[in-house]
Structure 1
Amino acid sequence: MIKKIFKYWFPLFIWALLIYLFSARSTGVVTEIHWGDFIIKKTAHIIEYAVLTLLSYRAMKESGISKTNAALFSILFAVFYGATDEFHQAFTPGREPKARDVMFDTIGSVIAIYSVWNLLPKAPTKLRNLAEKFQLS
């Protein structure tokens, strides 16, 4: 039981902690918005919350939750975590909460589940085998 918790839930905890630590860093005041910077930051939101969702999905599925419920709860968890992370940024110097960032977090989460459910079954065998190795399928 402890081994299963460590194998499936610990990576999720570590990833969530990394998200928290990165968002707790102060940033300088930005006066101009550069499109390149905007695209990089929003892409990072999408990727980090896609990973959070996949880790959550895997942990829940391996804990005996049905695939459907694991997918739904993983998306809800990622959206909730993204919203609380934005709230936390209200208290971080140089940061401000943005509902738009929660939207990008949600997009990443939905893309992750969509990919596992709809794209992965059609993917090349090597990719499907890799997903099985990580217990995503």
Structure 2
Amino acid sequence: MYKVVSVLVVTLWMMLIFHFSSQPAIVSSELSAGITSTIVENLDESIPNIGSVITDHIIRKNAHFFIYLILGILTINLFNCIGLHKVKALVFSIIFCVLYAISDEIHQLFVPGRGAQIKDIVIDSAGAIVGICFYLVVGRIIRKKNSI
């Protein structure tokens, strides 16, 4: 059952990424501007003039990183669930996430106002790799704690 749930969660997360990538540029920009505005309003009270530092561009690139960080965690978990461990799970997870990032950028070529950017593939891939490493480090800590 855990394998099925893992496959389902990875699939749903990939569908969420696909959904965001399917948004025309105007819709995507409006969403980013709204998020940026909310963040600036909430932080401006404790950090004056934060709005001059936080830009829509920074928010968008961080979103790429973190959405793929989650994909990395979910993917390596899935590969562990289906019986791949250690190096195989690590390598397959990285390859899977990088290929999905590439396919995501190719997909955006067909969305009005959007385009493919190698910079986004690098950011997405870095996020996935950080997520995969986070999963491995946390797993190691938990195993050590349980073996004591």
Alignment TM class, shorter chain as reference: 0.7 to 0.9
The answer for unaligned runs of 5 or more in structure 1 is 123-127, 133-137
Report deviation, 1:11.
0.2
- Pick from 75, 88, 94: which aligns with 1:69? 88
Do structure 1's residue 84 and structure 2's residue 110 form an aligned pair? no
Closer/same/farther in 2, CA of residues 43 and 60 from structure 1, 3 Å limit: same
Q: Percent identity?
A: 30
Q: Distance in 1 between matches of 2:85 and 2:4?
A: 20
| Contact residue 71 and residue 131 of structure 2 kept, 8 A | no
Q: Structure 1 pair 115/4, CA: closer, same or farther in 2 (3 Å)?
A: closer
Structure 2 distance, partners of 1:8, 1:108, is 20
| Structure-1-length-normalised TM-score | 0.77
Q: Does 2:128 match 1:109?
A: yes
Alignment partner of 1:26 is 2:9: no
Give SS of 2:120's match.
helix
Alignment correspondent of 2:39: none
Equivalent position of 1:98 in the other structure? 117
Alpha-carbon distance in 1 for matches of 2:140, 2:7: 25
Aligned to 1:12: 10
With structure 2 as the length reference, what TM-score do the two structures score? 0.72
Q: In the alignment, does 2:38 pair up with 1:40?
A: no
Q: Where do 1:45-64 residues align within 5 Å?
A: 45-64=64-83
Unmatched runs of 5 consecutive residues or more in structure 2: 30-52
Superposition deviation, residue 47 in structure 1: 0.6
Residue type of the alignment partner of 1:8:
S
- Write the deviation string for residues 39-81 of structure 1: whole angstroms up to 9, x where unpaired: 1111111111111111111111011111221111111111100
Task: State the aligned residue count.
Answer: 120
